[in-house]
Homo-oligomer: A and B are copies of this chain.
Amino acid sequence: MRDAVARTGVAEATLRMWERRYGFPSPQRLASGHRRYSDRDIELIQGVVAKRAAGLSAKAAISQVLARGTQPQTSIFAVLRRRRPDLEARTLSKPLMLALSRAIEDEALAKGERLILFGAFQRERFYRQSAARWRELSRTAEVAMVFADFPRVRRATDAPAEVPVPRADALNREWALVCEGESFAACLAGWELPEGARGPDRRRRFEAVWSVEPEVVRAASRVCAGIAGAHDPELISGALARLDSAAAAPAESQLGVATSVTARTLARLSG
């Protein structure tokens, strides 16, 4: 207990009150009733302290920290579906996925804002085909990171950080693009249907959802940051700081973004 107080800077009585009022933290108890805080508990408490400092109420801070603390997610598609079960997943051809991705990227470039940007490409060779474009995107980005079956982590100053995805992660079969600016957010995520499920034309197909809702996109960003952080916590320290402190993009612009992305997609497909 004394230890927990020392490591978190939260007063003894306060920790007990949180436990009593919000059910958090919930340390192990010795037979005598004495609390034993695990390292994990300490981490979470520090998370709550950070959120409180950012202006959140104790209740909101705790529930947010606990929500995140659940087991790590490795599928962006699944996160979107879980957040918004009402979003209908569509089966999209590869060209359509590409057009949508490019449309979102163009919209981001047009906004000219500092971006937080994640891309999932499955295979390294898919990423290489878009590498020039991603170098351009990353130039004005605050955080830019791409996922694929890279052999190793690579950080660069003039290109997105490359992050290997463990074979066992669901992200390995997903095509995803997550993009947050200050006034704008969008993401697209799809998992690739197995070969057997392709249409008569044998072309690659994805079951996909997309969203321009700031909180939904924010959740996707966190998943990406989590996966990258598992490799190298330093890689995402900056991103996490921004994700924790920065407001999600305002909701009022959603319709405009959706309209614009749709228009760009159609233009690409017909052009």
Q: Which residues of A contact B (CB under 8 A)?
A: 43, 46-47, 50-51, 54-57, 59-61, 63-65, 68, 71, 73-75, 77-78, 81, 85, 89, 102, 106, 109-114, 130, 132-133, 136-137, 139-140, 167-174, 182-183, 191, 193-197, 207, 247, 250-252, 256
Contact = CB atoms under 8 A, between A and B. Distances in A.
Nearest to A129: B196
A55 B61 CA distance: 8
How many monomers of this protein are in the complex? 2
A7 to B, nearest CB: 11
Contacts of A250: 43, 46-47, 50, 68
Contacts of A68: 182-183, 247, 250
Contacts of A64: 55, 247
A225 to B, nearest CB: 17
Nearest to A53: B60
Given A47-B250, A168-B139, A191 B256 contact: no
Contacts of A139: 167-168, 172-173
Provide the main secondary structure of the chain A interface.
helix
A112 B47 contact: no
